[in-house]
Structure 1
Amino acid sequence: MNRRNFILTSSAALAAASLHAADEARLTDCHVYLGANPFRKLGAENRDEFIQALGKRGVTDAWAGSFEGLLRRDVAAVNRSLAQACQGTMLRPCGTINPTLPDWQEDVRRCTEDHGMRIIRLHPNYHAYDLKTPAFRELLALSAKHRLLIQLVVQMEDERTQNPVVRVAPVDLQPLPGILQEIKDARVMLLNANSAMLLRHVQTCPNLWLDFAMIEGVGGVENLLKTWPQDRLVFGSYAPVFYWESARLKLQESALSPAQSAAVHWQNATALLT
């Protein structure tokens, strides 16, 4: 090999290695919360400290919902505050919509037009509606029209650990497959679903994504990917409710291929917003 070819070959290899290293450094956490939890102090009350903690752990992009969206009725104020808190940071705001409130369609408009949000995060159990509610279908259709991703939080925590005065059951996912077959352009991501829920109801939905925050068991992510499509699983830590390191350990204990790892770390999330 002459000098010129050696330099060209070495440069190409170096560039490929640098690109691979840059890809490996990307990490999108699709499931965090910001602000004060209504039931306990968790560590996301101080935005700057929370962002710094995520950055130290290698997170380059985080999708943040607001704890205030669980119980407050002034959804417009919640979303406005969240958008302001996320502006200019690694945090991507996920707007709260409560379709049981009057004029909730205007809240969707504000999220998209006023705040430039691409993601809506729903809490049906805390907002006292189920997936059979006609407004849920209307919301999915509206989200498809605006190319919004819907994040549906199945549960915030196990019922056994909840305050007995405010005990909230998980969302019943049984109606979801039929609804998604009906509204094929809607895109829904389940947050905090466990393996039992997935096996019973939703594995066959082509327009459904999943985070692994509540997928438990040794090699849980590896085992999940034996039946769940690789391109529909994303990294979700559920920080600060869960210790962020638990999400990292779930990946480390699973034998994932480089392609699977890249898909879960950032590729699938990026594709959803392009």
Structure 2
Amino acid sequence: MIDTNVSIGPWPFRKLEGTDLARLTARLQRNGITQAWTGSLEGLFDRDVAGVNERLATACRQTAPGLLVPFGTVNPVLPAWQEDLRRCAEIHQFHGIRLHPGFHGYDLGLPAFEQLLKESAERGLIVQLVATMEDERTQHPVFQVPSVNLTPLAALVKQHPSLRLVVLNAFRKLSLEEAGKLAAAGQVWFDIAMLEGVDRLGALASKVSPQRILLGSHAPLFYVESAVLKLQETTLPTQIIELIRQTNAQELTRFPTAN
């Protein structure tokens, strides 16, 4: 299985396995994860993005090469974001980048955000956009980060047809009908970490092509087991489950443009 939504590093609000890579990787492997697309929790808070990405690349390479696949941080609010993007593509040779508009303090109408999407697509990078990190009800009372307003995304995706966009943790706010409309606008995928309810995976597959759904656990903030159980309890046929387990992610990384 390919988990497209894993993070490493410290989380200031509670102790997580992400700071103990041996425990985190053991848990991933124990649950059948053979590849984990991995971002850095440091990237949400540290303005030295180049340093964050260097540490991420080193940690993934030294801890579990082949298992932890790094996705770099880029913050378009910072003046050196284009250099950070260049380093992600040329120096580290990441498959993609992970964006945190909520924590970095910008909305999706920011001109630099659209430029970032454009340049990422030109470089063949997958863009992961994190809609939210935690349920608002569990956030620290003096550190509230609302879910990202995803409304502008459909128009942006239409304007950049070669962009490959993965929306992580979308379903705290995004309805399944809205997800279907967004997926129809271009090359957009969704992970299932925050997809809750009885066989909601089947409901999502009825609104979004099964080829646009990815396994994602949001570990270590969420339990890996929760995402795996969603694949076990669904009534979807085996061939569709296999797409979600790994095939869709494999195809997404294999081709600069996906069908």
TM range (shorter): over 0.9
The equivalent of 2:257 in structure 1 is none
1:59 corresponds in structure 2 to: 33
**Structure 1 unaligned residues grouped into runs of 5+:** 1-26
Identical positions, percent:
44
Q: Tell whether 2:5 aligns with 1:28.
A: no
Aligned partner of 2:243 in structure 1 is 263
Q: Is the 8 A contact 2:199 2:233 kept in 1?
A: yes
Name the structure 2 match of 1:9: none
Residues 59-113 of structure 1: CA deviation (Å, up to 9, x unaligned): 1000011110111100000000000011124100010000000121000011111
Q: Do structure 1's residue 136 and structure 2's residue 117 form an aligned pair? A: no
Q: Compute the TM-score of the two structures, normalised by the length of structure 2.
A: 0.93
Aligned mate of 1:186, from 160, 163, 174: 163
Distance between the aligned counterparts of 1:261 and 1:34, measured in 2?
27
Correspondence list, 1:236-251, <5 A: 236-251=216-231
1:203 is displaced (CA, Å) by: 4.1
Question: Residue 232 of structure 2 is aligned with which of 242, 246, 252?
Answer: 252
* Alpha-carbon distance between aligned partners in 1 of 2:122 and 2:9, rounded to the nearest angstrom: 30
CA contact (8 A) 1:173 1:202 kept: no
On the 8 A contact 1:38/1:68 being kept in 2, the answer is no
Q: CA deviation at 1:32?
A: 0.5
Q: Which residue of 2 aligns with 1:21?
A: none
Equivalent residues in 2 for 1:92-171 (5 A)?
A: 92-171=69-148
Q: How many Å apart are 1:56 and its aligned residue?
A: 1.2
Deviation at 1:156, TM superposition (A): 0.3
Query: Given residue 147 of structure 2, which amino acid in structure 1 is its aligned partner?
Result: P
Alignment of 1:28-47 (within 5 A): 28-47=2-21
After superposing on structure 2, the runs of 4+ consecutive aligned residues of structure 1 that deviate more than 6 Å are none
Q: What runs of 5+ residues in structure 2 fail to find an aligned partner?
A: 255-259
TM-score (norm 1): 0.88
Selected match of 1:218 from 186, 198, 212: 198
Task: Give 1:196 deviation, angstroms.
Answer: 4.9
Taking only aligned residues, the RMSD between alpha carbons, in angstroms, comes to: 1.2
Q: Quick one: distance in 2 between partners of 1:31 and 1:203?
A: 19
Correspondence for 1:76: 50
Q: Secondary structure at the match of 2:37?
A: strand
Equivalent residues, number = 248
Task: Return closer, same or farther for 1:256/1:97 CA change in 2, 3 Å cut-off.
Answer: same
